[in-house]
Amino acid sequence: MSIVTDANGFHERVSQDVSNFRGTPPRQIGKALEGLQGKKLEGHSLSSENLAIARSESVFTSKSYSNAASKDVVVDGVNFSAEDVEDIRGLLKDVFSNAPKGTSDLGYADYAKMGLAENAVRSYAEKNLTGEQAEVVNRAVSNYFDEVIKKEDELIRGTYTTYTIDNLYYGKRYDGTDEIIRKMRQAIRDLAKNPNLPEQARQTFANTSLDGPGMILSASNMELAGNIRSKFSTVNWNDDKERNALLNQYRDWMRPAYLELYAGSSKFTEAKLSEDFDLFSSFFEQANKAVERAAVGHIDFQI
């Protein structure tokens, strides 16, 4: 979980893992959690027709589920063949591997990646599944990311004493009274005196304010985060006009947010926007390849 503290009007990122400093304080801080384990199956059994019955879409997303018996499955009243389940689980595994997991702060770009993941899975479902099957799978992905968002919130509240300042894009704060914060601040003081670090690095830590509340680099404008996720989930990324229109909208949405984050620096704001655009293109390319692999596996070669 990333933390930002004020330093002469600028925001410096610091990390609990300060020993790995390489010129710029690492972004990640806090205890990393294991990946989402998924919900336990409810009422998993075999019917008289030898069908594995799953009353939750977690059959596609849970790490604990195994279809080793190669049985067909009924999920929320909808039939899926064993091959369907294998292809869908492979697709989601690939897509989720590069998607946000809720084990660290979720910025607005993470919500865009969630939307792109939902977009990719929806594209696969429309072309390879029935309407009822597609509805179940799309809901599974949506529920998965809802759990990711919930997991991040639980992580933050479980680690720090926090509060949120309204009308800010990054309004989440920790009050600095928690033991982990005191230890982190002491580590920063020690780094400022560490002769093994470059002078610039020591000055960075020496100038970092250790008083008062600190910022958590997590999106706090949930209406905006939800809009970004929704727009990216429905855009036709392969249509240049539609994609560019969305990216321009994203730029308009996020420019004031990044100006807030980077203390009014237009240079850092534009650099972050460019970084986001590259991230989205890379993520879509990876998700699209996952869709292509799953679609090949889904093809029925029988005559």
Of residues 210 and 166, the one with the higher pLDDT is: 166
Tell me: pLDDT of 291 over 90. yes
From 20-29, 51-60, 98-107, the region with the lowest mean pLDDT: 20-29
Burial (CB count within 10 angstroms: exposed 0-12, middle 13-18, buried 19+), residue 41 = middle
pLDDT reading at 249 higher than 90: yes
pLDDT digits (tens, 9 = 90+) for 23-49: 333 233 222 222 222 222 223 232 323
Selected residue with higher pLDDT from 211 and 254: 254
pLDDT digits (tens, 9 = 90+) for 154-177: 888 777 667 788 999 999 887 655
pLDDT at 17: 31
**Residue type for 162, please?**
T
Residue with token string 């925001």: 11
- Judge whether residue 54 has pLDDT over 60: no
Distance CA 237, CA 245 (A): 10
Distances in Å between the alpha carbon of 252 and those of 106, 153, 247? 20, 26, 9
Which pLDDT does position 187 carry in this prediction?
75
Burial pattern 136-166, b for ≥16 Cβ within 10 A else e, equals bbbebbbebbebbbebbeebbeebbebeeee
Q: What pLDDT does residue 211 have?
A: 58
Specify the amino acid at residue 89.
R
What percent of the chain has a predicted confidence (pLDDT) above 70?
67
CA atoms lying within 13 Å on the CB side of residue 40: 2
Q: What is the mean pLDDT of the chain?
A: 76
Q: Give the residue from 97, 112, 99, 216 showing the smallest Cα distance to 158.
A: 216
Region 245-266: what's the mean pLDDT? 95
Task: Give the range with max mean pLDDT: 1-10, 26-35, 266-275.
Answer: 266-275
Whether the model clears a pTM of 0.85, i.e. scores above it, the answer is: no
